[in-house]
């Protein structure tokens, strides 16, 4: 009897250090400017066609980093390398390093990575299920055994949707408006408590009022979440982000604090783009 319980204690002690998340989080917060994603010398290929050229970028913890640039400059492709979503596409290849809290993401279990790095897409893509089941989906597939109700409610609160849907939780998600659906998708991503939220033009299909709601929601999420947002809307980048990266033809042209990039851009191409001379 005793030896059995001792044995199980020993196993628990051995297992404990294998959970690196809290450790790296505390390490990061001790630093001066903690970095969540460190990207170095990133190249990306669709078959023979190179889409990203030698990109270096760091994405700071609990800040919003905006990625701007003309269509086809590779900003969405770049965003999708951060949770390895490009792996779904055949014949793609990545070179270079991407580390999340100091850990190379290509060595990670992809399920684990995507649990830590959530994503919101351009068009709202709720599942053909109830509002409740949409939010609970990530928890269910990850085998979460606790009380779902509380987490569903808190996730909907964080996505600023709770008040609008609390009486319709078991109605189909398709009954919601486009903006509500997009916030539902944000709530769905937040439910698994990700460290990072990737937003791929989340407002391009929404009206200005809803867009403002989502920007406000992003502002509040900064307490707990690192965000990277791809946007075509430069006002949005200026309003909602702390750092902005400008990309052109698969290369990172300029990256600095948003206020600096929009007022005193160093590169003439950045200036041309933000003043609307191309793109």
Partner 1 sequence: MSDPRIMWRRALNYVMLTLTGIAALGVVSVLFFILGYLIWNGGKSLNWNFFTQLPKPVGETGGGMANAIVGSLKLLMLAALMGLPVGLLAGVYLAEFGGKTFSFVVRYTTDLLNGVPSIVIGIFAYSLVVLPVKHFSALAGGVALGMMVIPITVRSTEEFLKAVPGSLREGAMALGASKWKTIVTVVLPAAKAGILTGMLLALARVAGETAPLLFTAFGNRFGSPGFGQPTASLPVMIYTYAIAPYDDWHRQAWAAGLVLLGLVLVANLGARLLLNRGGAVRSV
**Near partner 1 by CB under 8 A: residue from 25, 115, 232, 251:** 115
Please identify, among the stretches 31-39, 114-122, 161-169, 263-271, the one whose residues bind partner 1 according to the rule CB under 8 A: 114-122
Stretch 123-142 residues interacting with partner 1 (CB under 8 A):
123-129, 137-138, 140-142
From the CB of 199, what's the least distance to partner 1, in Å?
12
Instruction: Give me the least distance between CB of 112 and partner 1, in Å please.
Output: 7
What would the x/- binding string for partner 1 be over residues 237 to 266, using CB under 8 A? ------------------------------
Among 119, 196, 199, 245, binds partner 1 (CB under 8 A): 119
Nearest CA among 126, 122, 121 for reference residue 180 = 126
Under rule CB under 8 A, residue 114 binds partner 1: yes
* Count of chain residues binding partner 1 (CB under 8 A): 30
Return the structure tokens found at 91: 């014949």
User: Taking the complex as a whole, how short is the minimal distance between the CB of residue 99 and partner 1, in angstroms?
Assistant: 19
Quick one: residue 143, left, alpha or beta (phi over 0 = left, psi -120 to 50 = alpha)? left
Q: Which residues, numbered 167-186, are part of the site for partner 1 (CB under 8 A)?
A: 174, 181, 185
Provide the binding-site residues for partner 1, judged by CB under 8 A: 83, 85, 88, 110-115, 118-119, 121, 123-129, 137-138, 140-142, 174, 181, 185, 188-189, 192
């Amino acid at each position: 009897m005793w030896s059995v319980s001792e044995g199980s204690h020993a196993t628990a002690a051995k297992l404990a250090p294998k959970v690196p998340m809290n450790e790296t989080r505390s390490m990061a917060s001790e630093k001066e400017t903690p970095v969540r994603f460190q990207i170095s010398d990133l190249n990306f290929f669709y078959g023979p066609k190179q889409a990203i050229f030698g990109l270096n970028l760091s994405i700071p913890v609990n800040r919003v980093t905006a990625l701007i640039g003309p269509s086809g400059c590779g900003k969405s492709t770049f965003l999708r390398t951060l949770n390895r979503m490009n792996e779904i596409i055949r014949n793609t290849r990545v070179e270079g390093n991407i580390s999340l809290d100091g850990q190379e993401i290509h060595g990670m279990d992809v399920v684990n990575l995507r649990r830590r790095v959530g994503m919101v897409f351009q068009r709202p893509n709720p599942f053909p299920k109830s509002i409740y089941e949409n939010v609970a989906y990530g928890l269910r597939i990850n085998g979460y055994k606790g009380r779902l109700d509380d987490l569903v409610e808190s996730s909907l609160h964080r996505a600023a949707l709770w008040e609008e849907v609390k009486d319709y939780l078991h109605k189909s998600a398709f009954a919601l408006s486009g903006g509500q659906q997009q916030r539902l998708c944000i709530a769905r991503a937040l439910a698994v408590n990700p460290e990072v939220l990737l937003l791929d033009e989340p407002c391009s299909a929404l009206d200005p009022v809803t867009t403002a709601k989502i920007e406000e929601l992003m502002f509040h999420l900064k307490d707990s979440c690192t965000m990277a947002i791809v946007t075509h809307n430069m006002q949005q980048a200026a309003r909602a982000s702390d750092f902005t990266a400008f990309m052109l033809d698969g290369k990172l042209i300029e990256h600095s604090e948003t206020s600096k990039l929009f007022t005193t851009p160093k590169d003439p191409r950045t200036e041309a783009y933000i003043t609307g001379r191309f793109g």
